[in-house]
Amino acid sequence: MPTALHYAKLRDMKLVYVVEDHDVIRNGVVQYLAISGYEAVGQKNIEEVRAAFEDRVPDLLIQDVMLPDGDGFAFVKEIKQRFPRLPVIFLTARTEESDRILGFELGADDYISKPFSPKELVLRIQALFRRIDESDDSTDNVFSYKDEDNVLMIDDNEHILSINGTPISLTAAEWRIVFYLASNAPNLITRSQILEECFDYSFESYERVVDTHIKNIRAKLKPGSWIDTVRGYGYRFSGKKA
């Protein structure tokens, strides 16, 4: 019979949902995560994971794309509207660059193609939670930036960004990029630096992912023009500290 200590340990574990219709893959990932110190729960379709969200919101969603009752991309788009800062890793056989770009456009923190190494998956998860924990432990407070007509506020403790007093909803990945660029202004930041500092990987094929995130960020950070492109090199935060 489970003890009070058992339940206390479960409360301290990161909860991970693994949405995968292939029983062997799903059960294998759940078991590997469990022995790695996570509370992992598997769901075989969108109906099951949608019901699970009504019971508990996980600390991380690992999402397959091709499912018998729907599209994983569409489900992540739906769930991100409710929980924009929920970390998401796509784990899928869809390997085309256009699919990977779409996954990141939807706010994914990582995109892992099948076949995959369970050990690499866990390392990616550990890196993701480490970035989140380090950001949560920040002792900085509120930063204010301005352009000619607008004021952008970054509250590093609460992870809140606003422009002229209006809150802007960013995904976890978008937040890391904006904060990293703003913290290093007015320095030029390369795509490789953003990948290494904000995502813990630096593969050249992922550099377009940075461009996708920047495109999404720019669409949200209006009014004002806050991020300049330095063609052929990278990006620079153009706001001035107020």
Domain-wise residue ranges, the chain: 4-136, 142-241
Determine the pLDDT at residue 104. 85
CATH code reported for the domain at 4-136: 3.40.50.2300
Q: pLDDT-based confidence at 8, cuts 50/70/90? A: very low
The per-residue pLDDT of the chain, averaged, comes to 87
**What is the CATH architecture of 142-241?**
Orthogonal Bundle (1.10)
The candidate with the shortest Cα–Cα distance to 18, out of 30, 6, 3, is: 30
What gap in Å lies between CA 61 and CA 59, rounded to an integer? 7
**Mean pLDDT lowest for which of 64-68, 73-77, 197-201?**
197-201
H/E element, 102: helix 97-105
Q: pLDDT-based confidence at 210, cuts 50/70/90? A: confident
Q: Which residue has the tokens 């369970």?
A: 118
Residues 6+ apart with CB under 8 A from 97: 205, 208
Residue 192 CA to chain centroid, in angstroms?
18
Determine the 3-state secondary structure of 220 from DSSP: helix
The candidate with the shortest Cα–Cα distance to 69, out of 46, 88, 101, 51, is: 46
